Amino acid sequence: MGSFGKLSEAIAGLVRDGDTVALEGFTHLIPFAAGHEIIRQKRRELTLIRMTPDLLYDQMIGAGCARKLIFSWGGNPGVGSLHRLRDAVENSWPQPLEIEEHSHAAMANAYAAGASGLPCAIFRGYQGVDLPVVNSNIRLVTCPFTGESLACVPAHRPDVAIIHAQKADRQGNVLLEGIVGVQKEAVLAARRSLVTVEEVVDDFGPRSPNAIILPAWVVTAVVVVPGGARPSYAHGYYSRDNSFYVSWDAIAKDRGKFQEWMGQNVLRPA
């Protein structure tokens, strides 16, 4: 049921040290404001799940929130590396980071399996490649009907899923549209969920045909955070700050510059 409380209270109540947390949003609607609040509250030893870690997990990893990362593509899209992720993997800074690495198909299937209440996801993939050699969670199963060998990975069942959406109504139902990614699956796969929204409306009114509605009873908390997806974007509200994604490269490359930027832009109380 929607609560419309404060972001700091929602994070304090929902995210605990050691939790497995998925902050999702595929380029679009990345829940930056919520992630920054996790950094400010100094959550530690988190297992972070996300298909594309993006700048948000680069910041959370560099800030020391993460013990483990489960992911499928760890770059700055169209720009280059995620330097904080690389520094953690290559040099254990600020602490060692365990990685569990998949392909996008596996991650998407693992969320869908979690949302479906299944223990694992089965799909056709990973044939002849090296990821199964380095990730023991990639196994094979044999189809009992055809004998085909298929890939199998554990379902994602995060303790908490956090997403950003365009709107909630007064009852706490949530609407998101545009590129909808895996957010519906992430919320339905999780034990608890937090949705930050651009605004609360009396009625959703006319919606686009692919609009996703998450009924209030599958969402633990809704918090109003206008601009909560910046520098990613919210379709219909603001566009992606591509120049910030480009400028992040130089900020994140240097540990000192990164810490200075975080101090000025994230660690100060919002």
Partner 1 sequence: MTYTATEMMTIAAARALRNDDVCFVGIGLPSAACNVARLTHAPAVTLIYESGTIATKPNVLPLSIGDGELCETALTTVSVPEMFRYWLQGGRITVGFLGGAQVDRYGNLNSTVIGSYRRPKVRLPGAGGATEICASCGRVFIVMRQDARAFVSRLDFITTLGHGPTGRERRALGLATAGPVLLVTDLCTFEPEPETKEFVVTALHPGITCQQVRENTGWPVRFALELGETPAPTAHELETLRELNARTARAHGEAAAK
Indicate whether 134 belongs to the interface with partner 1 (CB under 8 A): yes
User: What type of residue sits at position 230?
Assistant: R
First to last CA, the chain: 25
Shorter beta-carbon distance to partner 1: residue 245 or 261: 245
Of 6-14, 139-147, 161-169, 233-241, which part binds partner 1 (CB under 8 A)?
Answer: 233-241
Helix (H) or strand (E) holding 43: none
Q: Write the CA distances from 144 to 109, 150, 168, integer angstroms.
A: 20, 11, 44
DSSP state of 199: E
Q: Coil, helix or strand for 84?
A: helix
Shorter beta-carbon distance to partner 1: residue 134 or 143: 134
Indicate whether 227 belongs to the interface with partner 1 (CB under 8 A): no
Indicate whether 235 belongs to the interface with partner 1 (CB under 8 A): yes
Shorter beta-carbon distance to partner 1: residue 30 or 216: 30
Q: Write the CA distances from 107 to 22, 169, 187, 229, 257, integer angstroms.
A: 12, 30, 14, 22, 32
- Nearest distance from C-beta of residue 57 to partner 1, angstroms: 13
Q: What residues line the site for partner 1 (CB under 8 A)?
A: 26-28, 51-52, 71-75, 77-79, 81-82, 85-86, 89-90, 101-105, 108-109, 111-112, 123-131, 134, 178-182, 184-185, 209-210, 212, 233, 235, 238-245
